[in-house]
Chains A and B, each alone.
Chain A
Amino acid sequence: GDSVTQTEGLVTLTEGLPVMLNCTYQTIYSNPFLFWYVQHLNESPRLLLKSFTDNKRTEHQGFHATLHKSSSSFHLQKSSAQLSDSALYYCALSAGGNYKPTFGKGTSLVVHP
């Protein structure tokens, strides 16, 4: 079945440094949708960005990601981390006829001054 692998566990950064959270996926289907969801403390997950198009950069709220089907990757990046970026980030995949997203294990990002 489908699977998503994210940067393990906790990523700690100093404010102002670049953010990169890795996401790779496996699916037998050729046209997957990839999503990044963000969950702040005591909140529920919400969509950050999503993509379907190969090699096209998608941006939202300062974050960006590019779907690369050749490497089955959809890494999340930001040029300069802010304290408010501290949250749990999920990469998710939806493909084929299952119509149900598969979530990665989540990556906790902590940004400190």
Chain B
Amino acid sequence: ETAVFQTPNYHVTQVGNEVSFNCKQTLGHDTMYWYKQDSKKLLKIMFSYNNKQLIVNETVPRRFSPQSSDKAHLNLRIKSVEPEDSAVYLCASSWDWGNQDTQYFGPGTRLLVL
């Protein structure tokens, strides 16, 4: 099956803990992204990588750090989570990093910070 896969589906943690989310795409795409979808359903891009190279790094807190081992994998680590980090984190991929490229989204990881 070709798609974007994310783990875990759901994660509950306490303030101050570290969490890591994984994303893998089997679509053969060159570019991957992390988005945050908050409780109001606002969808904002956080990072994007093209062939393991960081190309977009939005203004996000420094406790967020993406990691890419190859063009099919993009992970997200959050050091010392805070309550406002509670959200759905969506991984996406696209063929390339042009304006015309469609985003293919994974199922998301829902994070709840207590």
Residues of A at the B interface (CB closer than 8 Å) are 31-33, 35, 37, 43-47, 50, 52, 88, 90, 94-96, 98-101, 103, 105-106, 108
- Complex Cα gap A90–B108 (Å): 17
Contact A37 B103 (CB under 8 A): yes
Q: Mark B68-94, 1 if CB is under 8 A from A, else 0.
A: 000000000000000000000010000
Pull 30 A–B residue pairs with CB atoms less than 8 Å apart, ordered by A.
A33-B99, A33-B100, A37-B103, A44-B90, A44-B106, A45-B43, A45-B105, A47-B104, A50-B100, A88-B41, A90-B43, A94-B101, A95-B99, A96-B99, A98-B56, A99-B48, A99-B55, A99-B97, A99-B98, A99-B99, A100-B33, A100-B45, A100-B48, A101-B103, A103-B42, A103-B43, A103-B44, A103-B45, A106-B43, A108-B41
Size band of the interface chain B makes with A: 20 to 34
- Complex Cα gap A99–B50 (Å): 11
- Complex Cα gap A47–B98 (Å): 16
Minimal beta-carbon separation of B30 from chain A (angstroms)? 12
- Complex Cα gap A7–B48 (Å): 28
Q: Mark B43-58, 1 if CB is under 8 A from A, else 0.
A: 1110010000001101
Q: Does B102 contact A (CB under 8 A)?
A: yes
- Complex Cα gap A99–B56 (Å): 8
- Complex Cα gap A111–B99 (Å): 32
Name which residue of chain A comes closest to B55, CB basis: A99
- Complex Cα gap A106–B101 (Å): 20
Minimal beta-carbon separation of A54 from chain B (angstroms)? 15
- Complex Cα gap A32–B40 (Å): 26
Name which residue of chain B comes closest to A44, CB basis: B105
- Residues of A near B90 (CB, < 8 A) are 44-45
Minimal beta-carbon separation of B111 from chain A (angstroms)? 15
- Residues of A near B48 (CB, < 8 A) are 99-100
Contact A106 B42 (CB under 8 A): yes
- Complex Cα gap A32–B48 (Å): 19
- Residues of B near A88 (CB, < 8 A) are 41
Other CB < 8 Å A-B pairs besides A46-B105, A103-B45, A106-B42, 16 of them?
A31-B99, A35-B102, A44-B108, A45-B105, A47-B102, A47-B103, A50-B102, A96-B99, A99-B48, A100-B48, A100-B56, A101-B103, A105-B40, A105-B41, A105-B42, A106-B41
